[in-house]
Amino acid sequence: MQRRTFLRSAVVSSLALTPASQLLAALAPDNKYRKNIGIQLYTLRDALGKDTAGTLKAVAEAGYKQVEAYGFPNCQPLIDGAKSAGLVLNSTHFEWTSVTSPKDASMSDFQKTLEKAKEVGLSHLVIPYLHDGERKTLDDYKKVAANANKAAELAKAAGIQLGYHNHAFEFQPKEGGKTGYDVFIEQFSKDMKFEIDIFWVKVANLDPVELITKLSGRVSQLHLKDLKDGLKLPEFGNLPQDAFKELGNGIIPMEPILAAAEKAGVENCHVEQDQSPDAMASIKQSIAYLAKL
């Protein structure tokens, strides 16, 4: 049996457990995620550094409708290039220490970020990462959660949704077997949402569909990427560069994830591939895969 045939068979088996109404919504050509599929621009960081405007034009020509930026608020070329290419910019990853380690009680740096986000017309800001020193213990995660909740309240007042993007390290057991992500689930306020990266959830040897379903109503966005077969999981350290695969070239079936996202009220889905020898070719392959499902 060819590998693609095998993967499709595995997907069909998994979809047998998905309610028909959800499945039809996920597979429909006008599914809201397919119609407005995004790309996290970190995927194309090397090409963007060489030719920002030309790369963003190629993104639009590949069929992507929106982009999620990174490095905000210091990423004006990405903002300008997206606008010129006709790409919608709803969301961005931003300089997160303005929230996780604020310099003052008023979070003045984050408030400046909010002002810029309103000026640009963003609807989502996302904490993209935590430094090692911000995540050593469960108390560290509790501190992050408390600061994120405060920032989320400020963001809400500005008409912007604050979210948190995971890697795998949040799922690594700490004191008493509890994880940092457990702390976030317990302590994030109703104003603080999750941007779930399905790749890193799988790297932690968890089921992305189960997590999306568990957090229904609390997930604002998804990152879609695929994982190489044959890796020993869970893995909380460094992955080989070829662990990151185009959609359809790995072990994560996308249909159940899109169906779960629809049911959970997820707003946006963004393709991302952290590592690729040819990032532009990879994002074209991923969007073509979504189109043919």
| Residue 14 pLDDT > 60 | no
Q: How far apart are CA 107 and CA 114, in angstroms?
A: 11
- pLDDT score at 26: 54
- Say what the pTM is: 0.90
Q: How far apart are CA 147 and CA 154, in angstroms?
A: 11
Q: How far apart are CA 271 and CA 287, in angstroms?
A: 8
CATH topology of domain 23-292: TIM Barrel (3.20.20)
Give percent above pLDDT 90 in the chain. 87
- pLDDT score at 32: 84
Model confidence at 34, in pLDDT bands (50, 70, 90)? confident
Model confidence at 10, in pLDDT bands (50, 70, 90)? very low
The distance in angstroms from the start CA to the end CA of the chain is: 19
| Residue 71 pLDDT > 50 | yes
Q: Helix 20-27 and helix 255-264: axis angle, to 10°?
A: 110
- pLDDT score at 237: 86
The pLDDT tens digits for 156-184 are 999 999 999 999 999 999 999 999 999 99
| Residue 265 pLDDT > 90 | yes
Element (H, E) at 5: helix 3-15
| Residue 4 pLDDT > 50 | no
Model confidence at 24, in pLDDT bands (50, 70, 90)? very low
The domain spans of the chain are 23-292
| Residue 13 pLDDT > 70 | no
Mean pLDDT, the chain, rounded, equals 92
Task: Name the nearest CA neighbour of 210 among 175, 244, 257.
Answer: 257
